[in-house]
């Protein structure tokens, strides 16, 4: 599955795996449901630690989207040469996709 297609519980599952949480399991109902892609309290430490920069784009085809990337700061703008970048419907979704991509590449199994 492409990282940029991950949403909701699947995205949160892969963030949990990237965080090294052994208790994260998509198939067990009793597994903790950590909503990294929608809970700022969970996402913010990752965003700060990984230096994920978040912005927004407005495209005639795609509409309004958030964009996140990891790289050097560029005067308050998104980095010109980012290690990876991801799009999302929200800032947290884009940031968590970017984080998963930085750990696993563009595909997850």
Q: How far apart are CA 84 and CA 105, in angstroms?
A: 9
Residues in the chain: 109
Handedness of CA 96, 102, 105, 109 (dihedral sign): negative
Residue showing tokens 């970048």: 85
Residue 16: per-residue pLDDT: 93
Q: May I ask the CATH class of domain 3-104?
A: alpha beta
Residue 42: per-residue pLDDT: 95
Task: Give the domain ranges of the chain.
Answer: 3-104
* Mean pLDDT in residue range 83-97: 91
Contact 78, 84 (CB under 8 A): no
Which pLDDT tens digit goes with each residue over 23-79? 777 766 566 678 999 999 999 999 999 999 999 999 898 899 999 998 755 555 555
Q: pTM score, two decimals?
A: 0.85
Lowest-confidence region among 4-8, 27-31, 54-58, 101-105: 27-31
């Amino acid at each position: 599955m492409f990282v940029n297609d991950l949403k909701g519980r699947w995205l949160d599952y892969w963030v949990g795996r990237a965080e090294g949480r052994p208790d994260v399991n998509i198939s067990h109902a009793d597994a903790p449901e950590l909503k990294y892609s929608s809970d700022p309290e969970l996402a913010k430490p990752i965003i700060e630690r990984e230096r994920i920069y978040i912005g927004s784009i407005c495209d005639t085809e795609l509409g309004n989207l958030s964009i996140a990337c990891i790289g050097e700061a560029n005067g308050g703008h998104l980095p010109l040469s980012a290690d990876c970048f991801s799009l999302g419907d929200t800032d947290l979704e884009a940031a968590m996709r970017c984080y998963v991509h930085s750990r696993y590449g563009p595909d997850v199994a």
